[in-house]
Amino acid sequence: MPDLPLLRAESMSPMGEGAQFAASSAASAVCGPSVASVGDYMALMKPRVMSLVVFTALVSVMIAPGHVHPVIGFTALLCIAVGAGAAGALNMWYDADIDALMSRTSSRPIPRGRIAAGEALAFGIVLAAFAVGVLGVLVNWLAAALLAFTIFFYVAVYTAWLKRSTPHNIVIGGAAGSLPPVIGWAAVTGGISVEPCLLFLIIFFWTPPHFWALSLVRTEDYARARIPMLPVVAGAEETRRQIMRYSMVLVPIGAAPWLLGYAQALYGLTAVVAGTLMVMFAWRVRRNRHGACAARAAHHLFGFSILYLFVLFAVLLIDARVGG
């Protein structure tokens, strides 16, 4: 893949263009009565992202100390899922202008003209209010406050600010995707302790290599939309270096629940093996720099990173159940 001419982060789209586009498209793209289907609204909630959020929160709910009634646990997960969906809808509302420019996102409901931007905005706000309100009333207000902060951070800090202004967008913005286990823990215990913070750190350090692997094969897309992703601003070589660094840091972070005595040997072994494999996939990305091999290595890392997180959390759950 040829490296694109590097763009400076300062020259990227300024804040506010997304909202301006959203407002104008609401008036022009979808005129008259809506033809949006239920499926279009489901797509607006980013169901694939939602599934990972729900899974990590589910594990946290299951391993948290103390007893929670299954109905309350289900309610907490439902609210976390709906909150994640709300954040996804608000993200698509704000990013409709750049979504239309990228092949990966051009088929989303707003750029495709299925849903007006204003409808997506209203949908997102209503869902967010319901998710936070119901979580507060039926579970507890600490979990609700954390969910509200997560939605705010994803929409206002990541989407509206960081995404278009710095190559560190997904590093800092990754905090939003890392919070669901903390919310799940707070829903059960009413507090926060070291264990959910470790789960937060695992997802936080997992996010950069995961997204940068994707951005390596979508560099032209991001450059066209003038999003200052690391490969666009600093180049593919620097991105490969950063992927390697974050993957190496991820190994001890992933094993931390075991190293600090919060998980059993089964989890420790899995974390070390999975972490080593993650570093090996990152090393392949680092070594294969040109042509189809480079794209294939990045695809493999992206795919494995999803498996890595799933396996780590699944084994953590099994470990907690077996270890008692």
Partner 1 sequence: MDEKPGRIVLSEEQKRSRRARSIAIAIALGALVILFYVVTLVKGPAVLNRPL
Nearest CB to partner 1, comparing residues 59 and 144: 144
> Nearest distance from residue 60's CB to partner 1, in Å?
17
> Nearest distance from residue 196's CB to partner 1, in Å?
16
Q: Map tokens 């005129």 to a residue.
A: 31
Closest CA to 179 of 157, 153, 160, 158: 153
Nearest CB to partner 1, comparing residues 187 and 223: 187
Task: Name which of residues 242 to 301 contact partner 1 (CB under 8 A).
Answer: none
Rule CB under 8 A: say whether 116 interacts with partner 1: no
Task: Name which of residues 139 to 168 contact partner 1 (CB under 8 A).
Answer: 139-142
Stretch that binds partner 1, among 2-10, 71-79, 245-253, 285-293 (CB under 8 A): 71-79
Residue 293 and residue 24: Cα distance in Å, rounded? Answer: 42
> Nearest distance from residue 69's CB to partner 1, in Å?
5
Rule CB under 8 A: say whether 36 interacts with partner 1: yes
Helices 47-63, 70-94: inter-axial angle, 10-degree rounding: 150
Rule CB under 8 A: say whether 34 interacts with partner 1: yes
Nearest CB to partner 1, comparing residues 34 and 106: 34
Q: Which of 2, 5, 8, 33 binds partner 1 (CB under 8 A)?
A: 33
Nearest CB to partner 1, comparing residues 20 and 34: 34
Q: Which of 25, 56, 60, 75 binds partner 1 (CB under 8 A)?
A: 75
Task: Name which of residues 78 to 107 contact partner 1 (CB under 8 A).
Answer: 78
* DSSP state letter for 158: I
Residue 103 neighbours by CB distance under 10 Å: 10
Nearest CB to partner 1, comparing residues 6 and 35: 35
Q: Are 270 and 311 in contact (CB under 8 A)?
A: yes
Residue 215, token pair as written in the block: 């951005």
> Nearest distance from residue 135's CB to partner 1, in Å?
11
Q: Are 270 and 318 in contact (CB under 8 A)?
A: no
CA atoms in the 13 A half-sphere facing the CB of 271: 25
Closest CA to 251 of 281, 217, 231, 229: 281
Stretch that binds partner 1, among 14-22, 26-34, 266-274, 303-311 (CB under 8 A): 26-34
Residue 190 and residue 52: Cα distance in Å, rounded? Answer: 23
Secondary element (H or E) of residue 50: helix 47-63
Q: Quick one: residue 46, left, alpha or beta (phi over 0 = left, psi -120 to 50 = alpha)?
A: left
Stretch that binds partner 1, among 132-140, 170-178, 233-241, 294-302 (CB under 8 A): 132-140
Q: Give me the residues that bind partner 1 (CB under 8 A), please.
A: 32-38, 41, 69, 71-72, 75, 78, 130, 134, 138-142, 190
